[in-house]
Amino acid sequence: MQTMPPDLSLKLANAVDGMPAFPKSVEKILQLTRDVNCTPKDIVQVIDKDPVVTVKILKVVNSAYYSLPRQITSVNNAVVYLGFNTIKNLALAIAAIGMMPKHNAADFDVDQYLLHSLSTAGIARKLASQMGDADPMDCFIGGLLHDFGKVVFAQFLPEEFRQALRMSQANKSSLHEALRQTVGVDHALVGAMLVEKWRFAPELIHTISHQYEADQVDTGLFACVFTANQISKQLGFGFGGNPCIHPLPEQVQRRMGGTLEDVIAASDDWSTVFDDAKLFATL
Amino acid sequence: MKVKFWGVRGSIASPGPATVRYGGNTTCIEVRTDNNELIILDAGTGIFPLSQSLLTELPVTANVLITHSHWDHIQGLPLFVPNFIPGNTLRLHGAYDPVTGKGVEQVMSVQLQYSYFPVREAELKARIEYVTLTPNESIQIGSATITPFMMNHPVIDFGYRIEANGKSVFFTGDHEPPPNIYEPQDPEFSEYQSFVDAKTADILQAMAGVDVLIADSSYTRAEYPAKKGWGHGTFDTSIEYAKLAGAKMLFCTHHEPTRSDDALDQVFEQVLLEHPRQAGDPIYRLAKEGDSYEF
Ligand SMILES: [Zn+2]
Ligand SMILES: [Zn+2]
């Protein structure tokens, strides 16, 4: 665990407090979709209460792709028109990325960051469904949020963050090392503070906080998110500010059935994940 | 116009001694206009024998209309034999899926991956064209006017109306008449019901007066409650559509893979008893692999 002086600790705690809440609707939809007894009505009522998601769903349904005899004006109406399952999956994707910030004070390329996060999320989900011992949706959320600490830095410590970005670019060093020098702690720790505040499961918090102490966690979720992060960087799907690609630690290799190169070679289809990421980045 | 059934099973191909009479292939229907234009509804495993029957009339332009991307409706596509012979054209039509952000080309690209199939798309010898359709907007295929309509299923799913030379056929694809997701005592019930009623009116208008209606009739009325929300209709809902739309002939299809020929005959006999034909009612039939019907 990294230690930090009390004033930095207080500063970071305030920064984390200043971040927006994790959308309740995402949490709730995730929870409901795991429950076999949940009815379409339950999920529709959750979507209905999230105005941002509702507006985006209506935008999709009323788009030129579906030339409608009449305007679709509510989630219920959209369910009858496009089907419950389609609306549920659409809502989940829209809600999960809805919290990504569009602007920041540091020289941090948010569009590239968003693509990196979304493609890591998509790859982690794909790996989970191939491996079978991790929940694909948890892996998606893990991938989506693994770098969220950088967003906190970009908002609240833009000077130090900008310096770290430059430092790691200049000598091709890992961004987390540079952040430890300029800020005093890295984004893994701050990201973990944030998801803890959002009351995520301990496994997800560990996955985010230990992303640079990879030998310490041995779970399917960790293996999928760690591997997905490296694949996303190796294949250049977006950019989260870190030029370094880390080899898979031994226990991750065991779970993934090979090295990073082996996992990448096992599919010729990574680019479709990136296409999906690009699509959702524009919704 | 002529329709010929090459695959009438739902969910998974089910060959074997118990399915010899109605056939074990999954959904595929050949439609020929009076001008002999070739339109193929869905590309389940039944498209493989269909494609072999085309070898005597090469080169062909096959206009394939995909209802939706579930396996039982696309699985035969990679083995559509004319794809491997130069000079042929496969024109694939289907929907845009807002969840994946992909058009109908996805149906091919997911199947023609090296790990699943030895031939890549670029190696196919035929010309492959993709046409992503918009619901309610008609397109012309030779003498035929084709209109896709949005049906209800766990993925985006089209029903197709085909009209040519004054004759018409409607194929629902997989379809469950949208149920009301609320309980009658819920405040949202009646508003939701009004959406369902509007949707039903749209569907009936799409089917109105067709010579032939081919409809997903997977379940019996008794089986349905356990399968609600799975996206399939019953014999009874198909009969109701056929009657209300004023169709002349109804073919019930998408037979349950576990239902033997004998069991299928049995449930259909019961259905006919419960729906005795009155003057002006449609003729009711079970879709059977190999059968064709000219009108
Ligand atoms: Zn089906
Ligand atoms: Zn289906």
Q: What would the pLDDT profile of B89-135 be if each residue is shown by its tens digit? A: 999 999 998 877 789 998 998 898 888 888 988 899 999 999 999 99
Q: Which residue has the higher pLDDT, B165 or A8?
A: B165
Residues of B in contact with A86 (CB under 8 A): 97-99, 154-156
| Closest approach of A87 to chain B, Cα-based (Å) | 8
Q: What would the pLDDT profile of A147-165 be if each residue is shown by its tens digit? A: 989 988 988 888 999 999 9
pLDDT at A156: 86
**C-alpha B250, offset from chain centre:** 13
CB B37 within 8 A of CB B65: no
Q: Quick check: helix, strand or coil at residue B167?
A: strand
A66 → closest Cβ in B134, B182, B199? B134
pLDDT at A100 over 80: no
The strands making up B144-150's β-sheet, listed across from edge to edge, are: B139-141, B144-150, B158-164, B167-171, B212-216, B249-253, B283-286
pLDDT at A172 over 70: yes
Q: Which residue of A has its CA nearest to B133?
A: A65
DSSP-assigned states of every residue in A43-71: HHHHHHT-HHHHHHHHHHHTSTTS--SS-
Cα A191 from Cα A122, distance rounded (Å): 19
Complex ipTM value: 0.84
pLDDT at B167: 98
CB contact under 8 A, B154 and A83: yes
Give the pLDDT band of residue A2 (cuts 50, 70, 90): low
Give the pLDDT band of residue A90 (cuts 50, 70, 90): confident
pLDDT at A24: 75
Is B187 an interface residue toward A (CB < 8 Å)? no
pLDDT at B165: 97
pLDDT at B257: 96
pLDDT at B150: 95
B157 CA → ligand 1 middle, Å: 10
Q: Which domain holds residue B119?
A: 2-294
Amino acid at B151: M
CA A147 to each of CA A110, A192, A202, B193: distance values in angstroms, whole numbers, following the listed order: 12, 10, 17, 45
B160 CA → ligand 1 middle, Å: 15
pLDDT at A93: 75
> Closest Cα to residue B99, out of A165, A213, A280?
A280
CB contact under 8 A, B99 and A90: yes
Cα B116 from Cα B105, distance rounded (Å): 16
Q: Which two tokens stand for residue A54?
A: 């509702």
> Closest Cα to residue B159, out of B142, B177, B172?
B172
**C-alpha A54, offset from chain centre:** 21
Rounded to the nearest 10°, the torsion over CA B187, B188, B189, B195 is: 150
Ligand approaching nearest to the C-alpha of B73: 1
Q: What would the pLDDT profile of B2-23 be if each residue is shown by its tens digit? A: 999 999 999 999 999 999 999 9
Cα A254 from Cα A248, distance rounded (Å): 9
pLDDT at B184: 95
Task: Tell me what percent of chain A is helix, strand and coil, each rounded to the nearest 5.
Answer: 65, 0, 35
CB contact under 8 A, A86 and B198: no
pLDDT at B129: 96
> What is the DSSP-derived secondary structure letter of residue A151?
H
Buried b (16+ CB within 10 A) or exposed e, B88-112: bebbbbbbbbbbbbbbbbbbbebbb
Give the pLDDT band of residue B193 (cuts 50, 70, 90): very high
A93 → closest Cβ in B99, B102, B154? B99
CB contact under 8 A, B150 and A70: no
Q: Which residues contact B214 (CB under 8 A, 6 or more apart)?
A: B3, B29, B41, B169, B170, B171, B172, B250, B251, B253, B287
Q: How many CB pairs under 8 A join A and B?
A: 82
Q: What would the pLDDT profile of A184-200 be if each residue is shown by its tens digit? A: 999 999 999 988 888 78
Give me the count of residues in chain B.
Answer: 295
pLDDT at A49: 83
Give the pLDDT band of residue A238 (cuts 50, 70, 90): very high
CA A234 to each of CA A4, A39, A215, B80, B224: distance values in angstroms, whole numbers, following the listed order: 32, 41, 21, 37, 50
pLDDT at B39 over 90: yes
Amino acid at A179: L
Number of domains comprising chain B: 1
Q: What would the pLDDT profile of B212-248 be if each residue is shown by its tens digit? A: 999 999 999 999 999 999 999 999 999 999 999 999 9
- The average confidence (pLDDT) of chain A is 86
Write a three-state SS string for A209-245: HCCCCHHHCCCHHHHHHHHHHHHHHHCCCCCCCCCCC
Mean pLDDT in residue range A252-256: 94
Q: What's the half-sphere exposure (Cβ side, CA atoms, 13 Å) at B83?
A: 25
Residue B31 sits in a domain of what CATH number?
Answer: 3.60.15.10
pLDDT at B63: 98
Cα A38 from Cα B203, distance rounded (Å): 28
> Closest Cα to residue A227, out of A261, A204, A186?
A261
Indicate whether this model's pTM tops 0.95. Answer: no
Q: What's phi and psi for B266, nearest 5 deg?
A: -65, -50
